[in-house]
């Protein structure tokens, strides 16, 4: 039989997990009535605190699991860099898995990490993850979980993200203030939240500045073959709109760099004929000609914050103290270079 969890108690009582946890530990900020209620249900269902049941201190694996969609990605290698350094400081080991944007694989990897007995997990979801039972399983097992970058809003755990909508809004507003009016957008896949949010930020910036949103200026890009898609979509953009487009905002830097290559080849002047802003501020953005303006996502900070929260939750679990899940938004900034 699956052990009764804090979550089971919380559900039956219609309370939050945090309240139930605090109640069981006798925290004074939970009313005595609630404390009694929680304790009697815990007795009834034979709830055993995780740390009692398994002598947790000894059972610590000193290992955390990380699942990312892709390894060969400047953004994720910066995040991993931060995670590895922080884990190193704490003598923790890190098992890294890549889901290759495959939901089934991600699900399997969660099971592998659960079986391995990791002390906590950091996950950035694949673009095709639309069902979150595997994440719920982690929570049911009371394994600390922090989602980062590609998250699921509905899952009850800590999250570290950037404000994609605001970052896109800032970039497009900057272009508008510089006098650009016909601004195209190379958007990402339809599913992932950050691709949706960047599109919505683009659209809102247009509307807030009284520029008509023209859907024919939006090109859908599949996120896997970025560079050549940037090139071919730039070609399409010129065929479709020619002189009737003056700026381009792309969902990532690779698409922008592909577009730059096309414009350079066709002697279309950047930023005179078309201005560009990318997203992610890959190292490459600073070395292409012209250098590319882009949004710095501060991946290293995101990795550091995510792993810090995870270790706090692991410590809290060890010390049997209640935790509040956090939702942290990492600041982004628009880095201006020669492309706009």
Shorter beta-carbon distance to a copy of itself: residue 115 or 210: 115
Shorter beta-carbon distance to a copy of itself: residue 216 or 228: 228
Q: Give the nearest distance from C-beta 337 to a copy of itself in angstroms.
A: 12
**Orientation of helix 133-140 relative to helix 103-116, angle to 10°:** 10
Shorter beta-carbon distance to a copy of itself: residue 93 or 196: 93
Shorter beta-carbon distance to a copy of itself: residue 8 or 101: 101
Residue numbers at the binding site for a copy of itself (CB under 8 A):
63, 70-74, 77-78, 80-81, 84-85, 88, 91, 93-98, 100, 105, 112-113, 116, 227, 257, 260-261, 264, 283-284, 287-289
Terminal CA-CA length for the chain: 62
The full DSSP string for 112-160 is HHHHHT-SEEEE---TT----HHHHHHHHTT--EEEESS--TTS-SEEE
Q: Give the nearest distance from C-beta 116 to a copy of itself in angstroms.
A: 6
Residues in the chain: 340
229 vs 249: CA distance, rounded Å: 14
Shorter beta-carbon distance to a copy of itself: residue 105 or 176: 105
Q: Give the nearest distance from C-beta 2 to a copy of itself in angstroms.
A: 24
Shorter beta-carbon distance to a copy of itself: residue 8 or 106: 106
Shorter beta-carbon distance to a copy of itself: residue 88 or 131: 88
Residue 210: left (phi > 0), alpha (psi -120 to 50), or beta?
A: left
Q: Give the nearest distance from C-beta 322 to a copy of itself in angstroms.
A: 31
The full DSSP string for 208-276 is HTT----GGGEEE--TTSHHHHHHHHHHHHHHHHGGG--EEEESSHHHHHHHHHHHHHTT--TTTT-EE
Q: Give the nearest distance from C-beta 72 to a copy of itself in angstroms.
A: 5
208 vs 262: CA distance, rounded Å: 31
Map tokens 């060969």 to a residue: 72
Contact 20, 6 (CB under 8 A): yes
Q: Give the nearest distance from C-beta 301 to a copy of itself in angstroms.
A: 14
Q: Give the nearest distance from C-beta 285 to a copy of itself in angstroms.
A: 10
């Amino acid at each position: 039989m699956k052990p009764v969890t804090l979550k089971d108690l919380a559900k039956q009582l219609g309370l939050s997990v945090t309240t139930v946890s605090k109640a069981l530990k006798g925290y004074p900020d939970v009313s005595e009535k609630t404390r009694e209620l929680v304790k009697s249900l815990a007795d009834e269902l034979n709830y055993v605190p995780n740390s009692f049941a398994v002598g947790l201190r000894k059972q610590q694996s000193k290992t955390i699991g990380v699942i990312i969609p892709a390894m060969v990605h400047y953004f994720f290698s910066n995040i991993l860099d931060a995670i590895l350094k922080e884990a190193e400081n704490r003598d923790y080991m890190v098992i890294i898995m890549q889901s290759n944007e495959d939901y089934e694989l991600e699900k399997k990897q969660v099971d592998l990490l659960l079986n391995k007995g990791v002390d906590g997990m950091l996950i950035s979801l694949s673009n095709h993850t639309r069902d979150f039972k595997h994440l719920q399983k982690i929570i049911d097992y009371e394994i600390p979980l922090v989602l980062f970058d590609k998250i699921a809003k509905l899952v009850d755990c800590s999250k570290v993200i950037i404000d994609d909508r605001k970052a896109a809004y800032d970039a497009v507003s900057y272009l508008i203030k510089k006098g650009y009016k016909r601004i195209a957008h190379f958007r990402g896949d339809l599913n992932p939240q950050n691709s949706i949010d960047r599109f919505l930020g683009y659209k809102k910036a247009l509307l807030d500045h009284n520029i008509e949103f023209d859907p024919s200026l939006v090109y859908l890009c599949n996120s896997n073959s970025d560079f050549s898609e940037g090139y071919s979509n730039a070609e399409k953009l010129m065929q479709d709109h020619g002189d009737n487009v003056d700026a381009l905002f792309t969902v990532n830097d690779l698409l922008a760099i592909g577009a730059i290559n096309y414009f350079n080849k066709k002697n279309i002047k950047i930023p005179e004929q078309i201005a560009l802003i990318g997203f992610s501020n890959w190292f490459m953005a600073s070395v292409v000609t012209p250098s590319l303006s882009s949004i710095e996502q501060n991946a290293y900070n995101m990795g550091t914050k995510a792993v810090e929260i995870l270790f706090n939750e692991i410590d809290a679990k060890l010390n049997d103290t209640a935790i509040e899940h956090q939702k942290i938004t990492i600041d982004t900034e628009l880095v201006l270079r020669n492309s706009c």
